[in-house]
Structure 1
């Protein structure tokens, strides 16, 4: 490795890419916009009536916007990776950083860190915005699982972002990943859950979202569930790394 190609330098260049590519940076900002916008659209009107039914975990109901927030996170991961395949960008990146593992690792670190920071902020935004309209059904930040869920929301969003990134590097197409992963999480996961709840428990979205519950469902606990999602993410990142290492730019 040349003196100029240091880890901090590569990390800095990857952050510059994220900031300068409108689709990537816009998707990252959309995580916050969706967290606040959906909460403001939903909880003033139906927040208390839904909480009154008692059909849903009181803490998990607060994170209803996560259904939409995670779409922005998935888009961020996919567009951050797919930008390397536009107009020969990957060849230019490899010319500057010939070590493919370093290049891939730096991008994963920057994308994951960005998603984690924004995700944690989004978690607190969802929590406090929803609680502002829940009246007597509000969940205090000091109640069991509340603080865990705020930070856990960021951890879940970071993992699902990296999961999307790894798949995009494998498939070389953000469109393919978005058209597959978003319907899977929004529709297929719930269909599988309706048929076999035991199988659905181990899916990346269902497992990771256990950290948003006050009392996690099924056999997986909050941290075990996020661990399952981390394993899915690690597998996707390894597949993406293999693709970057083995395929021509």
Structure 2
């Protein structure tokens, strides 16, 4: 397995690909801009209107913007992978990196690493920017759960990006993956959650977002919820690896 692990030249080549693809790089930057920007705008508009204006859970309300930033994370994961399935790009990539496992692990390592760095910065700026406009309803760094939610929000965005990337490797279509995931996280997950309660706790987005909640009412806690999302992501990445290994380029 050591012969299939990523090497510095391969990782560097994957970074060059992402940097040169405007759609992928723009999606990466949009994770930060959308999450922190929407949070600040929402807090400035209605944050001081009344307690709970952005949500009953003050800690999760501090990450209202992540509901939109996660779409950018999905777009980042999908565009990086989908670029390989156009115009014979995958054949060219595999000619440069003949080991399919090394190629796949390198790509996912770069996606995960970039998403993690941007996600952690996003988590901190989202919290700080949003609370700056909350007036008397603001929560502060050091309050219960704040550090955990900041770190956890970055991990959440990272796992969502990798989850989308793995699905794209399976389906070979970024557009198809986004057309499935975006309605799912924006509508289906909430509808199912309201209708069935228990089983919805284990949906990837709802479980993962528990790390940003002040209190968890169900069977999952903040870190166990993030663990459920990690399992979904692991399954997606495994499926993507099998698809890349077995299918013709």
TM-score range relative to shorter protein = over 0.9
Gaps in structure 2 of 5+ consecutive residues? none
The alignment covers a number of residue pairs equal to 247
Whether contact under 8 Å (1:73, 1:160) holds in the other structure is yes
Superposition deviation, residue 53 in structure 1: 5.8
Contact 2:78 2:168 in 1 (8 A): yes
- The 5-angstrom pairing of residues 64-143 of structure 1 reads 64-143=64-143
Q: How far apart are 1:48 and its partner, in Å?
A: 2.3
| 1:46-61 matched pairs, under 5 angstroms | 46-52=46-52, 56-61=56-61
Sort the Cα spacing of 1:41 and 1:53 in 2 relative to 1 into closer, same or farther, 3 A: closer
- Paired position in structure 2 for 1:226: 226
Would the alpha carbon gap of residues 55 and 83 (structure 1) be closer, same or farther in structure 2, given more than 3 Å must change? closer
Match of 1:239 in 2: 239
Can you give the 5+ residue segments of structure 1 that lack an aligned partner in the other structure? Answer: none
Instruction: Indicate whether 1:213 and 2:224 are aligned.
Output: no
Partner of 1:153: 153
Residues 50, 230 of structure 1: CA spacing in aligned structure 2 closer, same or farther, 3 A cutoff?
A: farther
Change over 3 Å in CA distance of 1:246–1:67 after alignment to 2: same
**Conserved? CA contact 1:40–1:129, under 8 Å:** yes
Give the Cα–Cα distance (whole angstroms) in 1 for the partners of residues 23 and 240 of structure 2. 20
Q: TM-score when scaled to structure 2?
A: 0.95
Q: Distance in 2 between matches of 1:169 and 1:186?
A: 23
TM-aligned CA deviation for residue 17 of structure 1: 0.8
Under a length normalisation based on structure 1, what TM-score does the superposition of the two structures give? 0.95
What is the CA-CA distance between 1:52 and the residue it aligns to? Answer: 4.3
CA distance 1:181–1:70, shift in 2 (3 Å): same
CA RMSD of aligned residues (A): 1.7
5-14 or 161-170, which moves further after superposition? Answer: 5-14
Q: Residue 51 of structure 1 contacts residue 61 of structure 1 at CA under 8 Å; is this kept in 2?
A: no
CA contact (8 A) 2:55 2:61 kept: no
* Residues 210 and 217 in structure 1, CA contact (< 8 A), matched pair in contact too: no
